[in-house]
A = this chain, B = another copy of it.
Amino acid sequence: MSKFLEDYEIGERLDLGSHTFSKDEIIRFAENYDPQPFHLSEEEAAKTHFKRLCASGWHTASVYMKLLVATHKRLHMEALADGRVPARYGPSPGFEDLKWLRPVFSGDTISYHTIVADKRNSSTRPAWGLIYADNHGTNQNGEPVFYFRSKVFLERRPQIAEHA
């Protein structure tokens, strides 16, 4: 999000990169935050409806965040290198409609991307707006595994904000 609110177009796509979920990482996350059998061992997972070791849904979501932050940092640095002022982004007040569409199994590589869905100016903070995005995770077979609609505060262009 090195760009300001006005610079984003509805439908614009941003690829966030991909992540391979290793067995060790799936188990480590689950031990800390979601210790259910199908997240903890192949043997236990085989006895469940999932059949195979798969990642906690909160792990799938957290990896989205990891890749989003890395993408922001890269775009921020690119903006600075180009002599542009990078826009700041603020907190997320939350989101709507998260879906875990398929399990993320051990060894799966999930590619994440985000598509700008909507944007609006903040009614209370004239220097800021809210940007809405549809976020998608897709496995190595092209199957959707993860979706949610996010909203995040994003800075407006300074000259526009001053006259708002």
Contact = CB atoms under 8 A, between A and B. Distances in A.
Interface of A: 29, 32-36, 49-50, 56-58, 61-63, 65-66, 69, 90-101, 103, 147-148
Nearest to A38: B91
A91 B97 contact: no
Contacts of A49: 90-91
B61 A56 contact: no
Q: Is the interface of A mostly helix, strand, loop or mixed?
A: mixed
A33 B15 CA distance: 17
A98 B66 CA distance: 19
Contacts of A69: 34-36
Nearest to A95: B98
A100 B94 contact: yes
